[in-house]
Amino acid sequence: MSSEGFTHLDEHGRPRMVDVGGKRPTHRRAVAEGQIVMSPETARAIASGATKKGNVLLISEVAGIAGAKRTSDLIPLCHPVSLSSVEVRLEVDRELPGVRATASAEVVERTGVEMEALTAVTVALLTVYDMCKALDRGMRIEGVRLLRKEGGRSGTWTATTENE
């Protein structure tokens, strides 16, 4: 197995955590998005607060923040980072129909926070599914992706139609 181009593999193709000890801490930020598609009835129930488990959007936003804080526990080769800010926003989109999620994470560290932003979105959407599965088991989580990353040696990267 060739390890060329894969930073999480050593010269023998074995997994490793990348050594970031020689890097200096810098401000880094990442933004991610995703959505969960559902029946129009389920989207209406979430928007009106008519679910038995409580405020789906608020609870899912908190779950997303908690997920971002646990990223290194979930993704084996991620470095634990000291997050300085995490925001998760969910909103019902009746035209989808479903819920759209965005998350941003910030840190002053030697490594980025893309995985934390992506984890926040994913955990928030999984929480929507968990809270609404009694209403709609056919929901689909889709389109989880990085929108933007800032900081570090590679600078700023923004999603475009070419890399969608």
Residues designated as active site? 130
Our CA angle for 31, 149, 59, nearest 5°, is 20
Q: How far is CA 115 from the centre of its chain?
A: 7
Each residue of 39-63: b (16+ CB within 10 Å) or e?
eeebbebbbeeebeeeebbebbbeb
**Among the listed residues 127, 152, 139, the one whose alpha carbon sits nearest the alpha carbon of residue 97:** 139
Our CA angle for 139, 61, 43, nearest 5°, is 35
Q: Both tokens of residue 119?
A: 């984890």
